[in-house]
Amino acid sequence: MNFSMVKRLILKDWYLQRWMILGSLPAGAVTLAIIAIPGKAVSFLGLLLLITILIAVGGQLAVATMVSERKEQTLSFVMSLPISYRDYTAAKILGNLLIFLVPWIALVLGSFALLMFPPGLHLGLIPYVAIMATEILTSTCLIFAAALISESQGWTVAAIIVGNLALNGFGYYVGHIQSIAKGMDGSSLQWTPAASFLLLAEFSTIALLLSLTFFVQSRKKSFL
């Protein structure tokens, strides 16, 4: 693999998407501030906005860097560069993941900070937030896989819908796992085997999704 070219392609996508990513950070900070306002309804609204921002950033990244590459016919420009399709696939997967991790890490750390600092210590929520944040990352990887393999707006939107539904269903399911649910209202952190298992399952799903994407891409015989 040509790592130097992969790096250049990642930097290119970062440059082209930088305003969207940088713009998501202050928007995320506002939602964190809303979450910090006392009152359950306001906090819930802030949480919804935070999740929406992360899903929107993932979807927009996939559309702008992969679907549009074909739709706007910049793919032939990129593929005329000294790269193979493996390099292109690696650059898209790694690049989008790294770029997405910028707002994701910032907002997840912000969320943890809200839970960890008084007043109103909510350390009991940390396992749930970690699992749900990783679920957002998993959904985003699903969107990236769909966008890269299909290069179609329709399939990418379908993946966004599936990812969003899965997030809601998964959130409900995790919230009703007894060992996780019972510690959620507490002010002390209770990390359970169930939480570890779910996190492991999520990271395994991410690895599987990205490996499958590489595999499918490597079998393609027409790239334009």
Partner 1 sequence: MNDLSVQFEGVSKKYAHFTLENINLELPTGSIMGFIGANGAGKSTTIRILMGLVHQDQGSVHVLGHAMPAEQAAAKLDIGFVSEDMRLYKSATIAWHMEFIRSIYPRWDQPYAESLLRRFDLKPQQKIKGLSHGQRVKAALLLALARRPRLLVLDEPTTGIDPVARHEVLGELMAVLADEERTILFSSHNTLDVEQISDQIAFIDRGRIIDIDDKEIFLDRWRRLRLVLPPDVTLPRFPGIVEVGGSDRLPVLTTNQFDPDMVSACQNTGATVQAVDCMTLEEIFVANVQSRREGQAV
Which of 87, 135 has the CB closer to partner 1?
A: 87
Q: Does 5 bind partner 1 (CB under 8 A)?
A: yes
- Identify the DSSP state of 84: -
Nearest CA to 128 out of 186, 188, 171, 187 is that of: 171
Q: Tell me which amino acid residue 199 is.
A: L
Distance CA(96)–CA(52), nearest Å, equals 18
Any idea which residue has 């896989």 for tokens?
Answer: 145
Q: What's the min distance (Å) between Cβ of 11 and partner 1?
A: 9
Q: Does 165 bind partner 1 (CB under 8 A)?
A: no
Which of 7, 182 has the CB closer to partner 1?
A: 7
Task: Show contacts with partner 1 in window 57-76 (CB under 8 A).
Answer: 72-74, 76
Asked if 144 and 65 count as a contact pair (C-beta separation under 8 A), the reply is no
Q: Does 79 bind partner 1 (CB under 8 A)?
A: yes
Burial call 195-218: b when 16+ CB within 10 Å, e when fewer: beebbeebeebbeebbeebeeebe
Q: What's the min distance (Å) between Cβ of 19 and partner 1?
A: 9
Which of 85, 203 has the CB closer to partner 1?
A: 85
Which of 71, 182 has the CB closer to partner 1?
A: 71
Distance CA(106)–CA(78), nearest Å, equals 30
Question: Judged by CB under 8 A, which stretch of 36-44, 137-145, 167-175, 216-224 contacts partner 1?
Answer: 216-224
Q: Does 10 bind partner 1 (CB under 8 A)?
A: no
Q: How many CB atoms lie within 10 A of CB 148?
A: 24
Which of 77, 173 has the CB closer to partner 1?
A: 77
Q: How many CB atoms lie within 10 A of CB 19?
A: 9
Q: Which of 2, 164, 190, 192 binds partner 1 (CB under 8 A)?
A: 2
Which of 88, 128 has the CB closer to partner 1?
A: 88
Q: Which of 82, 118, 119, 193 binds partner 1 (CB under 8 A)?
A: 82
Cis bond upstream, residue 38 (ω within 30) = no
Q: How many CA atoms lie within 13 A of 215 on its CB side?
A: 6
Q: Does 87 bind partner 1 (CB under 8 A)?
A: yes
The binding site for partner 1 (CB under 8 A) comprises: 2, 5, 8, 12, 15-16, 72-74, 76-77, 79-84, 87, 221-224
